A and B are shown apart, each in its own frame.
Chain A
């Protein structure tokens, strides 16, 4: 189901990841990053993508929102 639109374009998961992990609307302070204790994310592409720094950056940001996911 998920693949229909995505596969129709000649793109890869890497291209998607590059965009959705770091670009677009980043509403700091209100967001909750629920990926905790994940140092390396294995994406099944034989690539270990070290995005922990990004996650840490966001997790370290002051959270003024009403909710925080358990870590």
Chain B
């Protein structure tokens, strides 16, 4: 019997309400000591990643979040029967317990900030040109001109990065006030100024959202993508798989977000 696994929860009790997962099968908890693995039975091998299977997986985890602290398990994790699940639980019990304790009553929020990189660069270059007009033009060889051009490019890029750091620092100060942990990625692409996830205590969610609105307000030329509350996908730490947790083959995904903002609704925010 194939068991599709959705998440690890901080309870050995059964889920009170019926929750349906992949293939419309009812999910249930396989207890191990004081925690449990939530699974459903699969009749057929999953042959494809479809929109409905992705959403079914996520919906089960979201429903579980209403009742438990959840460590979401990666999509398409299938075990051969109850023994396989129990064996896994035995191997990772301490790690799961530590994570469940650390993540209890906390949720994750994602924030992506897209800025108009081309305009920012243009502005920097214009400002530099203005300053150059006041400086003498170097007479002489093309080598000198080439070096000067390269130096200007370097200055532009440096100032661009400084500006990015400045914006990120300001935003992060606000968000960090209400966050227990965070992970920030700066300038994944020129346009994706910030890709961040914050771990926030449940009773600080509203404050966190308010901080976001406060930051978003004045930056009308920026696009903000806010998502959550999520289970703490990005904050599960399992030392045994640290190599696998080191992401990411999904860099392209973020480029797509930047290139096709309409797909993720960022153009409407």
Contacts and interface: CB of A to CB of B under 8 A. Distances in A.
Contacts of A14: 253, 256-257, 263-264
Contacts of B230: 19
Interface stretch (B49-57, B114-122, B147-155, B157-165): B49-57
B87 A30 contact: yes
B241 A46 contact: no
B201 interface: no
Given A5-B59, A35-B47, A51-B250, A25 B76 contact: no
A24 B80 contact: no
Interface string B235-268: 0101011001101111011001100100111000
B233 A28 contact: no
A22 B74 contact: yes
B51 A44 contact: yes
A12 B235 CA distance: 20
Nearest to B235: A23
Contacts of B253: 14, 17-18, 49
Interface string A27-49: 11011111110100101111101
B173 to A, nearest CB: 24
Contacts of A11: 227-228
Contacts of A17: 54, 250, 253
Contacts of A19: 72, 230, 233-234
A25 B250 contact: no
A67 B226 contact: no
B46 interface: yes
Pick from B48, B74, B245 the residue with the most CB of A within 10 Å: B74
Given A2-B59, A20-B57, A57 B244 contact: yes
The main secondary structure of chain A at its interface with chain B is loop
Given A25-B71, A31-B77, A45 B45 contact: no
Pick from B71, B231, B241 the residue with the most CB of A within 10 Å: B241
B74 A24 contact: yes
Contacts of B247: 22-23
A13 to B, nearest CB: 7
A67 B47 contact: no
Contacts of A26: 74, 238, 241, 244-245
Interface string A52-71: 01100110010001110110
A13 B257 contact: no
Contact of B236 (A4, A6, A25, A43): A25
Interface string B21-65: 000000000000000000000000111110110111111001100
A35 to B, nearest CB: 6
B8 to A, nearest CB: 6
Nearest to A19: B233
Interface of A: 1-6, 9-28, 30-36, 38, 41, 43-47, 49-51, 53-54, 57-58, 61, 65-67, 69-70
Interface of B: 2, 7-8, 20, 45-49, 51-52, 54-59, 62-63, 71-81, 83-84, 87-88, 91-92, 96, 110, 225-228, 230-231, 233-234, 236, 238, 240-241, 244-245, 247-250, 252-253, 256-257, 260, 263-265
